[in-house]
Structure 1
Amino acid sequence: MTIAPSLALATISAFIYFTLFEALNTPAQELLFLPLDTRMRHRAQEFCGGVLASFGLGLGGLLLMTLNHYHLSVSHVALAAGIIVTLQFVLTFCLGPRYRHLLEKSLQRLALKPADLEAFLHRIEDTSVLIDILRSKTDSTVLMALDLVAMKPHDKYLPIISELAGSASEKVAARAISLLGDRQNAVIEKALIDTRPVVREAALRSWCRLKKENSVRQAEEALADPFLFDTALFCIVSYCGFPGALIAYPKIDSMLKSDSDDERFRVARLLSEIEVPGTGAVLKRLLNDTCHRVRIEALKAVAKSPDPLLIPELIENLCDFDARSLAIKAVDAISACTDGAAIIDATSQEQPYAIKAVLLRSLEYARDDLREHIWKSFNSSDDIRMKIVAANIFKRLRLKKGRSDFVPEGFDAVIDDIVGKAGRVSRAATEGGSCSVLLRDHARLMVEMLISVLCVKYDAVELQRVESYLFGSNETLRANAGELLELILPKKTARQIIELALVECVSMGEGLSENTEKSLATIDNWCASIAKYSSILRENGGIMQDNEVYRLMSYISILKQVDIFRDIPADYLMTVAAIAVEHTLYAGEVLFSQGDAGDALYVVCEGEISIQSGDVEKARLGPNTHIGEMALLDDQPRSATARALTDVRLIRIAGNDFRNLLGSHPRITMALLSALARRLRETLNPHQAERHA
C-alpha cells in the first residue's frame, strides 16, 4: 500500500517538526541550561532556539525534498517515527540520572538564586524536575527546593516531603514538617516525640495549625518544655481559640508583671510574631517599659498590629536613635490601615520638626486620600522644611498615579505667592552682610519646594528631571533646564524660577536695611529669625550675645564655613546649632587624649590646636576646621591627642545628640556623607582617586 505524496508530505512535516524543532527548542525554555550561569544560559537558549532549531527545520525541509521522489508506505513512516520515539525514551532513561547528578553539582557550585528556579516552575507543569532536586544529598539545595514547594504546592510533592521529615538534618526535617498537611498526621505525631528540639518545635506548629482547638492538650503539655515554651504559647494564642485563651492570657499577664526583663521581652516577641487584634493595651505598657530591648520588640509588634491609640508612645520612641526606624515603620502601618485621623491630630499638635515630618510623611500611605489635608498643612506651615516634606509627598504621589487628578482650589495663587516671596529673599541676599549665606540657602530651598509642588498640576517626570539639572554640577545641563522648564510651565512662571535658580546672588552691601528686615519678617519663621539676627547686628554689633537667636545664627554662620557642613542648607543647620555648646580652652590645655572615647565633635571658632600622635605633631588646626567626627561614626577611640597652642574657642556637639540628629534628618546625613567622601578623595593619591571614582 502506497501513500499519496500530499499525505506523505503532511505526515513527514509533522514528524520533522515534533522530533527536530521541539526536541531542540524546548530545552531552551526548561532546566537543561539552568546549571549554567545566567549569561551563558541566555546564550545557550539563543543558540538552541535560534541556530539549532533553524538548522533542524532546514534539515527537515531537505529531507522532505529528498523523500518527495519516493513513494513511501504508511508502515515505513510509522516505523521511522517509532524508531525515533524509542530512541528518545532510551536516551531520556539513560541520561536522566546523569543529568540529575550534573544539576545537583551545578546548584551547589553556582549557588543559583531561588528566583531562577521559581521562574522556571511557573513556566512548566511537570513536577519531576523539582522532585529530582528534592532528592539531592545537599542540605542547602533541598532547603531551597522546599522553599519553592511552599510557593507552588502540589500533591505529587507530599511523598518526598514526608520522607524528608525524617531527615538526619534538623533544618531539612523542620522545614519539611512545616509543609505537611492533614493527610500526614502520622508523620507529624512521630516528629512531636523526636529527640531534636528544632524538629519538635516545627511539628508542634504544624500540628496546632492543622488541628486548631483540638491541639490544646499537646500545646499545653509543651509549655512544660523550656525550649518549646515560646512556641507553645504562640500556638495556643494563634490557633487554639477560646480554650487556648483561657490558658495563655493568665500566663502572659504573669509574665508582664514579672520583674525579669527576659519575661517581658518574651511577651513582646510573642506579640511581634502574631497578628491578634485587641493587644493595644499590652503594647502600650510594653512601649513604656524601662528595658530598651523590650521597647524595640514591642515596636515590631505594633507594625504588625497597628493601633491608633499608640501614637503618643510611638512619638516618644521616634526620639530614640535605635528605635526610630521601627517607630517610623509602625507609624506608617497605622496610617495604611486607618483613615489617618489619629496622625492628623498628632501633626496639629506642637511637635519638633523631625517628629512632625515623620507623621506628615506617613499620610502618603494612608488608606484614604488625604491630599486635601496635606495641602492644608503645606499652606498653613511657617516652617519651609515642613513645606518641603508636603511638596515631596505630592511629587511622589503624582509620579505613582501618572496623571493629575487633584488640583486644589487657589493653586495658581499659592504658586505666585511663593515665587514672589522667593524673589524677595533672593533680593535680600544681595544686600550682603553675615546674613547673605543664610538667605541664599533659603532662596534655593524655596525653589526646590516650588518645583516639587508644581508636580501637582504639571508633568512630574519632566519636573523631576529639570530639578536634577538645575541643582546639578553640569553647567550645560543647568542651561538646558531653563529651556525644558519653559516647555512644561507657563512662560512667566518658568522664567521667574529660572531667574531664581540660575542667577547668582552677588553680595553688594554690608547688611540688611530696616525695610528689608520688615519685609523678611512677614515671609516665614526662618526669615523672621534672620531679620531679628540682622537687627541685633545692626543696632549693637552683636553685644547681646545672650540672645538665643543671636547664638544660633552665629553658630550657623560658623558651621557654614566648615567643609562637612557647607552643603547643608542653613535652615537645616538650625537643628545642629541647637545642640551645640560653646567650649573654651586655654593655651596648653588638652582637649582629648589618644585612646579616649569619641564622645563629641568639635569645630574651631578661634585659636589654634595641635594634633599629636605620641610625640609627633601630625597637624595644626585653626578657625573653621573640625575635629573628631570619625570617632563619632565608627565608635573607635581617639587616634590622636588634641592640645591647645593658644587660647581656643570651640563649638562642641555631643556624640549622642549628633547620632540622633543623623537618624532624624536624612538631608544632613547625605550632606555629611558627601563631604566625608570628598575629603577621602582628596587624601587618596591620584591613582586611587581614579579607581574609587
Structure 2
Amino acid sequence: MSTFLLFLVITPFVVLKSARDALVLTEFSGASLPYFMVVTTLLVAVLTGVQLRLNERLAVGTVLAGGLLFYAVGTFALHLAVRSGWSLAVPVLYVWANLFGAQIPMLAWVMIGRRLKLRQAKRAIGVIGAGAVAGSVGGGLIAERVAQLGDTPDLLAGAALFMVAALVPVTGLALCRVVESEDDSGKETETQLSRRFITAVLLVVAAGTIVSTFAEFQFKIIAQREVSGVRNLTAFFGWFYAYLGVATLVFQIAITPLIVRWGGVTAGLVFLPAALLTGNGLIVGLGTLWSAVILRGGDQLFRHSIDRSSLEVLYTAVSGKARIKLKALLDAFGVRAAESAAGLILVLLFSIAGLPLITIGILGIVICVVWLAAAVLLRGEYRQILTQAVQRQDVDIEGLKKSLFGPDFQRLLPHLLASVSTRTWLHLLDLLDTGGQKQIGPRVSLLLRHGDPQVRKKALHLLFAQPHDYSADVERLIGDVDRTVRTEAIRYICSRSPQPMGRLFTFLQDPDPSVQVAACSCSLLTEQEDSRELALRKLEDLLTGAHDPDRPDVRLEIARVLEDFAGFDASLQLARRLLQDPAIEVRRAAIKSVSKSRAESLVPVLFTSFKEPRLWADLRTALAEYGPALLPHVRKLLPLSDTPLELKKLLLQVMSDINDEEGLELLIKQAESQNLSVRFQAIKGLNRFNRRQGLNGFRPRIQHLLEKEIRELQENEHQIGAFSTRPATLIGSLLAQRRRWAQERVFRLLGLMYDQNALQKAYFAFSDGSDRLFDTALELLDSVLDLEHKRSIIPLLESRAVGSDSEPSPVARKETLLQFIKRRDQLAAAAALADLQPAELGKWRPDLKDMLGSGREQSLVSETLQWRYRMAQPEANASREPDSLTTIQKLESLSKVDIFSRLGPHELLLLSNSSAVQDYAEGEIIYREGETAHHIYNLLEGRIELRRQPDQVEEITPGGSFGALAVLSGQPRFFTAQVVETARCIKVEREAFWEMVEDYPSAARAIFEVLSGQILTMMGRLSEQKDEEGAKGKRG
C-alpha cells in the first residue's frame, strides 16, 4: 500500500515537472528562472504554515486526502487555462507544480513513516522507496509518449487523474495501525536533541537543498541552450526522467537496502554530495549537455533513493515531539530558507551580475565539501541520539527516596510517630538508613522516645551520620531498659564529647560488659597509648568471658569496635577469634573491622566465611582492600577442582575490583572456563575492569569468547522454536530466561570490544520489552558494530521470538526433551515434562523410560515424571501429606509470591530445593517475637496473624508472605506468627535465600519496591486523613 501510494503521488509530479519545464523554458528566458524560484519558495513557505496548522487539528491522512483533491481540481483547471491561452497560465503552472512537489510527497512519507517502526523502516525502505522511483519512471514515459503523440498541455489532465487515484491507497493506509500513538500522546520520553546533531542535520539538508537548486538551474539553462522547441523539450525531459527513473529503481531495490543495512543510515548520506561534487566539477571543466545530465541525474538518482531513504530512517530514530520539532525546523530553515537563499544567489549572480554558469559550479563545489563534512559529523551524533533513545527506564531509586523523604514526609512525621505501627517504622528506618539523608536529625531524634527499643536503637544509629550533636537528647538513653540501646547511647556520647577521658573511666567500671565495650571504643578519642592498651586488654577479657553461643551481644559489640584498633598487632588475635564466631552477625562485624587493617595473615581466615552467602558482599569488600597482595592466594585457589563454586565466583568479583594486570589475566583465563557460572562471572568482572582502564591487546581472545556465546545463543533459539514460545508456561519462561542470559553475555563481550557505555544502554533497551526501544537498540548496534559482527549478531538478535498461537511439531518437542535429559539438564527437562500433553506423555513413555533407565539417574526429572503420571490417572487427587508438593509445584507456587515474582525458574529452583511444605493446626504458633529468623514463609492455604504487644495485629491470606523482614535485616523476629485457620505453608531456608540474592539482586530490588510501595500508600492515607480532620476543624 505504501509503495502504491508513492507511485501514484510521484507519477503526477514528474508529469507536472515535464510539462512545467517545457512550457516555461519555451516562453521565458533563462534569466527569469531565478525569479520564478524565489516566488515559488515564498508561496511554499506560506502554504506550509497553513499545512502545519491543519496537521495540528486533523490527521495526516485527512490532510493528504484533502490536498490530493485540491491539487487534482487545480491541475485540471490549469489544463483548461493553458488550452485557452491564458497569459498567466504558464507562470502559475510553474508555481503550482512546485507547491505540489513540496507538500504532497512529504505528507505521503509522513503518513507511511507513522506506520513503521525503526527496524521495519530500515528493512522495507528499499521496496517502499521503489514506489517513488517507479512513479518517476512512469511519469517520464508518459511525458515522452504524450509529447510525441499529442500536446504538452494534455499532460495536466493525466496528472489530475493520477492524483484522484492516489486517494485509494491513502484510504487503505488510514485503516492501518499508527505505531507512534505514544509519541503523539506525549507518553513516551522525548528525545533531547543536541545542538551538534541539529546543526549537522540542518547543514546536510540545507546544503543539499542549495546545491540541488543550483543543479536544477544549471540543467535547465543548458537544456534550453542545446534543445529547441516545446515538443523537443517535453520529449527530452520525459526521456531524461524515464531513464533516470529506471536507474534509480534499480539502485533503490538492489543497492539502497544493502547500504542502509550494512553501512548504516549515515553512510547513505555521503552519496548525494559526492555525486553533486563530481557533477559540478564536470560543469566547471566541460559545460556540455552531458555534464548537465550527469549533474542533474546524480542529484535525482541519489536524492530519491539512498539519500531520502537514509534521512527518513534517521528521523524515525528521533522519538516524541522532538521529531515534529526537528522536521519543522528543517522544513523552515533547511528547505524553505535554503531555497530562498539559493534563489537570491542565482538572481544576484546570474540575472543581475550576468556571471557564467561556471561561477555557480564553483560555488556548488564549495558547498558540497561543507555538506560532506556535515554528513561525517552526523554519523557520530546519530549514535549519540540512539544512545539517548535507549536510556534505561528503570526504577528510579533516588527519586523514590525523594518521594518518601520529601516535604510531605517532614510535615507528616509527628503524625506518623503517633499513628504508624512499629513494623512500618522499622521498614521506614531501614529505608532511611540507605537514603543518605543528612537533614533528618531533628525529626529522627523524636523517635528516641518511641516505645519500642528496636525503633529507638535504629533511630540512634541514624543520628551517628547526622552533622549536628544530639547528645542532650541521647543522655536519657544511658538508663534505657534495653541494653543495646544503652550501649549505642554511650558510644554516641563518647564520640561527641569534647572531654572523653572522664566519661571513659566511668564507663569502664560499669558492671555491664556492653557498656565497657562501648567505653573501649571511646579510648581512642583520648589519643593516649596507655588508654589504648588498657582498652585492648579489657576487650580480650570481655571476649574470653562472653563464650555463650546463644548470647552474642558482647562479642558483636567487640567486633564492631575492633575497626577502631586497626593497625595494632594486639587486635589481630581478637580478629581471628571473632572471624570464626558461630554468630553470623559477629562475623559480619569482624569482617568489616579487619578490612581496614589489611593484615595478610587474616586472609585464610577470611576465606572460611564464603560458606555463608549473607557475608559475601562484606567479604568481597574486605578482600578487595588487600589489592595485588591477594593475587597469590587467588592464583592458587581458582584452578583447584575442589575449590567451591561460590568461592571462585567471589574471588572473580574481587579480582574485578583490584586494578592490576595480573588480575586481568586471571579474569581472561576464567572467562574461557567450561563452567557457565564461572564464565559469566568472569565476563562481568571484565566489564568492570574495562570500565576503569580498557582491555587493549585482548581482542582476539575476546572474539573467541564471543563466537562461543553466539553458538550457544543460536542453540537456545533452536530450542525455543522447537519446543515452546509461550512465556506463560514454565518451559517457555525458562528458555526465555536462558535466552536473556545468552544475549546479555553477547552484549557484555561486545562491550569489551566497542563503546561499553553504548552497548550497556543498548542491552537495557533491548531487554526492556518495548518494541520501539528494541528497534532503537538494534539500530544503535548497527551504528557501532563493524560489518563482520553486524552479519553474525544482529540477524540473531533481530529474530527475538514472541508468543505464538501455533504449536511446535511433536517430533521437535520430543527430540528437544530427550536432548535435555541426555545432557542432564534437569530443570529444562522437568519444565518440559510439566508442559507435555497427556497423550504425548503416554506415547513417549517407552523412550523416556529408556533414557532415564540407562544409568542417567536424575532426581528432579524422575520426580516430575512420576507426578505427571499420577496426575494423568483419572483417580488422581491432591494429597494432604506435608511434603506432597513436588519441586516443580513449589517452584510455581513461589513464583506467585510478591517478593519472588520477578525471579526466573533458575532462581526459584534454588529456593524450592531448600524449601519444605508444612501444615499447621489452628492456634499453633509458627514463631515467636524475639526468636532468631531461619525461614521465609509463603502461605498456600488458611490464615495467619502477626501479633506484637500490646495490640498490633496483621493478617496474612493465601498467596502472601511473612517473615522476610527479619531474614533481610538479620534481626530477631519482630512479631509472633499464629495460625488463625488451619494453614499450609512453604518454608524457604534463610541460607538459600541469601545465596540466591547474591546471585540474583533483582530479589532485593523487588523487596525494596514492595516495602516502599507500602510506606507510600500508608503516607497517602495518613495525609488524606489529616486533610479531612483539618477540614472538619475549620467547619466546626
TM-score (norm. length: structure 2) = 0.37
For residue 97 of structure 2, what is the aligned residue in structure 1?
none
The within-5 A match list for 1:273-292 is: 273-275=565-567, 283-289=575-581
1:558 correspondence with 2:893: yes
Structure 1 CA distance, aligned partners of 2:804 and 2:688? Answer: 31
For residue 633 of structure 2, what is the aligned residue in structure 1?
342
Q: Report the alpha carbon displacement of residue 462 of structure 1 after superposing the two structures with TM.
A: 1.0
The within-5 A match list for 1:644-683 is: 644=981, 649-654=984-989, 658=993, 662=997, 665-677=1000-1012
Q: Report the alpha carbon displacement of residue 581 of structure 1 after superposing the two structures with TM.
A: 1.3
Structure 1 CA distance, aligned partners of 2:794 and 2:765? Answer: 16
Structure 1 CA distance, aligned partners of 2:544 and 2:960? Answer: 52
- Aligned partner (choices 501, 522, 542) of residue 197 of structure 1: 501
- Aligned partner (choices 664, 671, 680) of residue 371 of structure 1: 664
1:331 correspondence with 2:631: no
Tell me if structure 1 keeps the 8 A contact 2:579–2:591: yes
For residue 145 of structure 1, what is the aligned residue in structure 2?
none
- Aligned partner (choices 462, 468, 477) of residue 764 of structure 2: 468
For residue 980 of structure 2, what is the aligned residue in structure 1?
643
For residue 443 of structure 1, what is the aligned residue in structure 2?
739
In the alignment, residue 819 of structure 2 is paired with which amino acid? S
For residue 868 of structure 2, what is the aligned residue in structure 1?
541
- Aligned partner (choices 759, 764, 779) of residue 483 of structure 1: 779
The within-5 A match list for 1:140-539 is: 197=501, 235=529, 258-259=544-545, 273-275=565-567, 283-289=575-581, 295-296=587-588, 298-307=590-599, 310-320=602-612, 324-334=616-626, 336-338=627-629, 340-347=631-638, 348=640, 350=642, 354-366=646-658, 367-384=660-677, 386-401=678-693, 404-409=696-701, 410-427=704-721, 430=724, 434-489=730-785, 490-499=789-798, 501=800, 503-504=802-803, 508=807, 513-520=813-820, 522=823, 527=828, 533=860, 537-538=864-865
Deviations 1:241-297 (A, max 9, x none): xxxxxx999979986995467799869956753436898677434422467776455
Q: Report the alpha carbon displacement of residue 460 of structure 1 after superposing the two structures with TM.
A: 0.9
The within-5 A match list for 1:596-611 is: 600-605=935-940, 607-609=941-943
Structure 1 CA distance, aligned partners of 2:1001 and 2:1018? Answer: 26
Structure 2 CA distance, aligned partners of 1:258 and 1:389? Answer: 41
Q: Report the alpha carbon displacement of residue 507 of structure 1 after superposing the two structures with TM.
A: 8.2
Evaluate the alpha carbon distance shift between residue 638 and residue 518 of structure 1 in structure 2; reply closer, same or farther with a 3 A threshold.
same
Structure 1 CA distance, aligned partners of 2:954 and 2:527? Answer: 61
Structure 1 CA distance, aligned partners of 2:497 and 2:1022? Answer: 53
In the alignment, residue 373 of structure 1 is paired with which amino acid? L
Q: Report the alpha carbon displacement of residue 314 of structure 1 after superposing the two structures with TM.
A: 1.8
Structure 1 CA distance, aligned partners of 2:805 and 2:589? Answer: 54
Structure 2 CA distance, aligned partners of 1:482 and 1:476? Answer: 10
For residue 578 of structure 1, what is the aligned residue in structure 2?
913
Structure 2 CA distance, aligned partners of 1:552 and 1:415? Answer: 30
Tell me if structure 2 keeps the 8 A contact 1:584–1:649: yes
Q: Report the alpha carbon displacement of residue 473 of structure 1 after superposing the two structures with TM.
A: 5.0
Evaluate the alpha carbon distance shift between residue 250 and residue 442 of structure 1 in structure 2; reply closer, same or farther with a 3 A threshold.
closer
Deviations 1:298-329 (A, max 9, x none): 42453133355544422333455775543222
Tell me if structure 1 keeps the 8 A contact 2:494–2:503: yes
Evaluate the alpha carbon distance shift between residue 590 and residue 268 of structure 1 in structure 2; reply closer, same or farther with a 3 A threshold.
closer
In the alignment, residue 382 of structure 1 is paired with which amino acid? N
Q: Report the alpha carbon displacement of residue 414 of structure 1 after superposing the two structures with TM.
A: 1.8
Structure 2 CA distance, aligned partners of 1:172 and 1:271? Answer: 18
Structure 1 CA distance, aligned partners of 2:898 and 2:586? Answer: 40
Structure 2 CA distance, aligned partners of 1:227 and 1:680? Answer: 36
Deviations 1:614-655 (A, max 9, x none): 999997844x5545545655766448854336xx54311256
Evaluate the alpha carbon distance shift between residue 256 and residue 479 of structure 1 in structure 2; reply closer, same or farther with a 3 A threshold.
same
Deviations 1:150-202 (A, max 9, x none): xxxxxxxxxxxxxxxxxxx999997xxxxxxxxxxxxxxxxxxxx9727999x
Identify unmatched segments of 5+ residues in structure 2.
1-437, 440-466, 470-492, 506-518, 548-553, 833-857, 872-878, 1025-1036
Tell me if structure 2 keeps the 8 A contact 1:430–1:509: yes
Tell me if structure 2 keeps the 8 A contact 1:442–1:571: no
Structure 2 CA distance, aligned partners of 1:585 and 1:493? Answer: 57
Evaluate the alpha carbon distance shift between residue 662 and residue 234 of structure 1 in structure 2; reply closer, same or farther with a 3 A threshold.
farther
Could you say which structure has the larger radius of gyration?
A: 2
Tell me if structure 2 keeps the 8 A contact 1:466–1:481: yes
Determine helix, strand or coil for the equivalent of 2:609. helix
Structure 2 CA distance, aligned partners of 1:632 and 1:284? Answer: 26
Evaluate the alpha carbon distance shift between residue 372 and residue 171 of structure 1 in structure 2; reply closer, same or farther with a 3 A threshold.
closer
The within-5 A match list for 1:23-42 is: none
Evaluate the alpha carbon distance shift between residue 170 and residue 560 of structure 1 in structure 2; reply closer, same or farther with a 3 A threshold.
closer
Q: RMSD in angstroms over aligned alpha carbons? A: 5.5
Structure 2 CA distance, aligned partners of 1:322 and 1:519? Answer: 36
Tell me if structure 1 keeps the 8 A contact 2:523–2:535: no
Q: Report the alpha carbon displacement of residue 468 of structure 1 after superposing the two structures with TM.
A: 1.4
- Between 1 and 2, higher relative CO (CA 8 Å, sep ≥ 6) is seen in 2
Determine helix, strand or coil for the equivalent of 2:576. helix
In the alignment, residue 619 of structure 2 is paired with which amino acid? A
Determine helix, strand or coil for the equivalent of 2:625. helix
Tell me if structure 2 keeps the 8 A contact 1:306–1:333: yes
Determine helix, strand or coil for the equivalent of 2:817. helix
Q: Report the alpha carbon displacement of residue 466 of structure 1 after superposing the two structures with TM.
A: 0.6
The within-5 A match list for 1:116-131 is: none
Structure 2 CA distance, aligned partners of 1:290 and 1:618? Answer: 33
Tell me if structure 2 keeps the 8 A contact 1:431–1:510: no
Evaluate the alpha carbon distance shift between residue 628 and residue 263 of structure 1 in structure 2; reply closer, same or farther with a 3 A threshold.
closer
Structure 2 CA distance, aligned partners of 1:228 and 1:396? Answer: 39
Structure 1 CA distance, aligned partners of 2:984 and 2:739? Answer: 31
Evaluate the alpha carbon distance shift between residue 406 and residue 671 of structure 1 in structure 2; reply closer, same or farther with a 3 A threshold.
farther
Q: Report the alpha carbon displacement of residue 361 of structure 1 after superposing the two structures with TM.
A: 0.4
The within-5 A match list for 1:28-67 is: none
The within-5 A match list for 1:612-631 is: 621-622=957-958, 624-629=959-964
Determine helix, strand or coil for the equivalent of 2:672. helix
In the alignment, residue 896 of structure 2 is paired with which amino acid? Q
Structure 2 CA distance, aligned partners of 1:528 and 1:351? Answer: 28
Tell me if structure 2 keeps the 8 A contact 1:438–1:570: yes
Evaluate the alpha carbon distance shift between residue 585 and residue 451 of structure 1 in structure 2; reply closer, same or farther with a 3 A threshold.
same
Tell me if structure 2 keeps the 8 A contact 1:564–1:675: yes
Evaluate the alpha carbon distance shift between residue 258 and residue 379 of structure 1 in structure 2; reply closer, same or farther with a 3 A threshold.
same
Tell me if structure 2 keeps the 8 A contact 1:463–1:485: yes
Tell me if structure 2 keeps the 8 A contact 1:302–1:330: yes
Q: Percent identity over the alignment? A: 16
Determine helix, strand or coil for the equivalent of 1:567. coil
Evaluate the alpha carbon distance shift between residue 515 and residue 280 of structure 1 in structure 2; reply closer, same or farther with a 3 A threshold.
farther
Evaluate the alpha carbon distance shift between residue 284 and residue 638 of structure 1 in structure 2; reply closer, same or farther with a 3 A threshold.
closer
Q: How many residues align?
A: 466
Q: Report the alpha carbon displacement of residue 338 of structure 1 after superposing the two structures with TM.
A: 1.7
Deviations 1:39-79 (A, max 9, x none): xxxxxxxxxxxxxxxxxxxxxxxxxxxxxxxxxxxxxxxxx
